[in-house]
Copies of this chain bind each other. A is one copy, B any other.
Amino acid sequence: MGPDDLQTSRLSRAFRDFLPLPAKLEPHLKEALGRVLDNPGSLIRPEIVLQIGLDYGVLENTVLDLAIGLEYFHTASLLFDDLPAMDDAVERRGMPCVHVEFGDAGAILAALALVNRAYALVWRAVANTNHIDHARALTYLEQHLGVDGLLNGQSLDLHFASRKTDCKAAAIGKTVSLIRLTLVLPAMLGGASVLELQLLERISLFWGLSYQIVDDLKDVLQSSSESGKTPSRDLFLGRPNFALAVGIKGAVERLQRLITLGDRMLDRLTLLRPGLTCLRHLRSELGEEAVELTQFACEPVAGGVA
């Protein structure tokens, strides 16, 4: 087991243990929540939170509270997203969605349990951090989760077809908001300078949009590669999709531009904080996905869709 695996297994344990299920909890809800807590995703977000927070000198327990709290918010957002009333998904992380197995009510209550615990964990993290403006950190959280952030993005996403809003606004609300919390909050708790926070803000924006374009390209390319029989799910649901909006070539170009812009910010940031190598790692993963998709997009079948 390498240090990375050790970290991941530690995060998995924390993900499971930070929301203790009381003995008297109603059994259906207990089972639904147990399923969620025993099956974390890649845990890449909490890993980044941990690395940034530690680099800024935040105490380990405190940054762990923040990391798991934000991951609970993220997980809850997936549970809500997957509901029949939203994206109507049936599978997530290789398993049936929570609502498929435990009903819509089970998924909603499980998501709300994660949300309730998440606020408590983030509060505790903020409260245990000295020398920072607590109200500012919590306002940042509120803005990115609420009507100025995630919830607005989700609603723009749902009503895209009827409103022809632009893809960017939806992606900023839906994807960028959570990435901002992941990159900016741990640095804020560590007393990062205004310039550092601004750079992290910009990186979140460029990478958030990049991830969205990667997702959108996959949605279009993967469907077209299957001899055109599977329609793009975004097209089918009337959801915003950069590749549908500006074509595959346009989306690939935009992706490359965003990655370049992100690189500039990352270079400036790592000059100030050489310890933030974890972000370079993330950047390479994004770059690899972009290269793969670019090659894929240039193949005849896929290219024909653009």
Contacts and interface: CB of A to CB of B under 8 A. Distances in A.
A117 B142 CA distance: 7
Interface stretch (A19-27, A219-227, A228-236, A283-291): A19-27
A254 interface: no
Interface string A136-174: 001100100111100110111011000101000100000
A13 to B, nearest CB: 19
A108 B85 contact: yes
A29 to B, nearest CB: 4
A147 B104 contact: no
A97 B138 CA distance: 32
24 contacts: A19-B147, A22-B147, A22-B148, A24-B152, A25-B147, A25-B155, A26-B152, A26-B159, A26-B163, A27-B159, A28-B158, A29-B152, A83-B108, A85-B103, A85-B108, A106-B155, A112-B115, A112-B151, A113-B146, A116-B145, A116-B146, A120-B138, A120-B139, A123-B123
A159 B28 contact: yes
Contact of A115 (B28, B103, B115): B115
Chain A, interface residues (CB within 8 Å), range: 35 or more
Contacts of A104: 83-85
A74 interface: no
A33 interface: yes
A18 interface: no
Interface of A: 19, 21-22, 24-29, 33, 80, 83-86, 103-106, 108-109, 112-113, 115-117, 119-120, 123-124, 127, 134-135, 138-139, 142, 145-148, 151-152, 154-156, 158-159, 163, 165, 169
A155 B117 contact: no
A29 B85 contact: no
A84 to B, nearest CB: 8
The 7 closest A-B pairs by CB, nearest first: A85-B104, A26-B155, A29-B155, A116-B146, A85-B105, A120-B142, A119-B119
